[in-house]
Amino acid sequence: SMHMSGDFVDYFEIDAHRQGFYIMDVSGHGASSAFVAVLVKSSINNALANYHAGSGDSICEPARLFAQLNAELIHDGLDKHATIFYAVLNKDGREMQYANGGYFPFPILFADGSEQILESRTKPVGLFGTAAYTTMTVPLPDTFELLIFSDGILDILPEESLSTKLDRLVEMGRAGLTNPGDIRKLLKIDDIRELPDDIAILTVTRRQT
């Protein structure tokens, strides 16, 4: 548990038309942060089960799901909060609905030869009882790549300033480096004996066949 923390990635099928996925980072390190990550996963799994049982559809509404998670974490009084990005991919409507709960670095969407930073300045879940969240919608073409990192990636990039570190992430995507394995090799992550922070990478890709 000395090396466990709250970085967490998950994805699942909501129904025949939609898929959900999220990446989150719980504050702090160690077993207590890992416990909160599992607690959030359980809450999201419950929301998915409720949808399948016909007793709720918050799993389809990112902002509403965040409001529930926020209330639960504050009520439990665990003195922990989490930054989280959650999205629902609509395969029929060719769009993605998402909400950002204080997550940074912002996800990067590569499509049609350009990139879009999915910037959203909001509060983490479990920190402020008055936090408000908004569901955003972005259209998706036939081919796209979504690249998301946890903030631990910033600690190992050699660039000096935050802006140049963020530029480096965009440049990797432009160069087609959106496979987590390729990114690990490029940044030589496996060669670092003691990482300053955990690193999580989530990529979502659709290619025309």
For residue 123, what is the DSSP state?
Answer: P
Nearest C-alpha neighbor of 122 from the set 135, 130, 132, 114? 132
Nearest to 110 by CA among 203, 5, 209, 2: 203
Count CB neighbours of 165 within 10 A: 17
Question: E strands, 14-113, where?
Answer: 18-26, 82-90, 95-101, 108-111
Single-letter code of the amino acid located at 108: I
Place of tokens 């359980």: 42
- Tell me the pLDDT band of 198, cut-offs 50, 70 and 90: confident
Q: Using one digit for the tens of pLDDT, what is the confidence trace for 128-184?
A: 999 999 999 999 998 999 999 999 899 889 899 999 999 999 999 988 888 888 888
Asked whether residue 2 carries a pLDDT value surpassing 70, the answer given is: no
**Using 50, 70 and 90 to split pLDDT, how confident is the model at 5?**
low
Mean pLDDT for the stretch of residues 53-70: 96
Cα–Cα–Cα angle for 133, 64, 130, rounded to 5 degrees: 45
In this structure, of 8-12, 97-101, 183-187, the range with the lowest mean pLDDT score is 183-187
Residue bearing the bigger pLDDT, 35 or 192: 35
CA distance 124 to 79: 13
pLDDT per residue as tens digits for the range 99-115: 999 999 999 999 988 99
Report the C-alpha gap between 132 and 91 in whole angstroms.
27
59: exposed, middle or buried (Cβ count in 10 Å: 0-12, 13-18, 19+): buried
Confidence of residue 1 (pLDDT cuts 50, 70, 90): very low
User: In this prediction, what percent of the chain has a pLDDT beyond 70?
Assistant: 96
**Across 3-7, 27-31, 159-163, 172-176, least confident range:** 3-7
Residue 30 pLDDT > 90, yes or no? no
Is residue 67 scored above 50 in pLDDT? yes
